[in-house]
A and B are shown apart, each in its own frame.
Chain A
Amino acid sequence: DAGITQSPRHKVTETGTPVTLRCHQTENHRYMYWYRQDPGHGLRLIHYSYGVKDTDKGEVSDGYSVSRSKTEDFLLTLESATSSQTSVYFCAISKEQNTEAFFGQGTRLTVV
């Protein structure tokens, strides 16, 4: 894997609680992305970052926020987790926008 670490790898949380997922890269790539993967939907973009403190929404951003205070770290926060946010979350990085991306191992989140 291209120097991307996601943590935690698995998490179970209760409805209404805040949850933060972390993505850490050692490649110094400018672009970072958070996707969710659900059966039958492929990968859907939640938020992405094009630099430190520069972020933008993807197609399924409602209920999520992100922060990037350092080049290497991109955090995804579920402000108040709901059962519809049960999913597998992937972080990805790329040198240029929407080019070949390298993905982390994923975080399986279950909201009960």
Chain B
Amino acid sequence: GESVGLHLPTLSVQEGDNSIINCAYSNSASDYFIWYKQESGKGPQFIIDIRSNMDKRQGQRVTVLLNKTVKHLSLQIAATQPGDSAVYFCAVVNTGGFKTIFGAGTRLFVKA
């Protein structure tokens, strides 16, 4: 069946460093990808998205990279801050938008 996986369940970085969170997916028909951030006790919050006709998209301090050849995407956070501490999920949507599959999440710890 389809799967969405993250390479690391936890990631610890020093404040001010860049963070990279990875996600792999199995279905080559996937054409839309979303990153969410979930803080403790809250619901997931949209960060950034990318469609399959792009390989990079930038937001404020965040960049998403998509490599369709190896079915991999990553979220890069520049100058990581304590407020970035959260669980990050990738979500993968298949062609036609009929199904969204969420990864299990990576917990990011930011050390002061």
Contact = CB atoms under 8 A, between A and B. Distances in A.
Provide the main secondary structure of the chain B interface: strand
Contacts of A40: 104
A44 B41 CA distance: 18
A101 B102 CA distance: 12
Interface string A71-112: 000000000000000000010100011111111111000000
Nearest to B99: A98
Report, as a range, how many residues of chain B touch the other chain: 20 to 34
B28 interface: no
> B43, B45, B91, B105: which has the most chain A beta carbons within 10 Å?
B43
Contacts of A92: 43
A96 B93 CA distance: 12
Contact of A106 (B42, B49, B98, B99): B42
A40 B103 CA distance: 9
B47 to A, nearest CB: 10
Contact of A43 (B44, B93, B97): B44
Interface of A: 1, 4, 40-45, 90, 92, 96-106
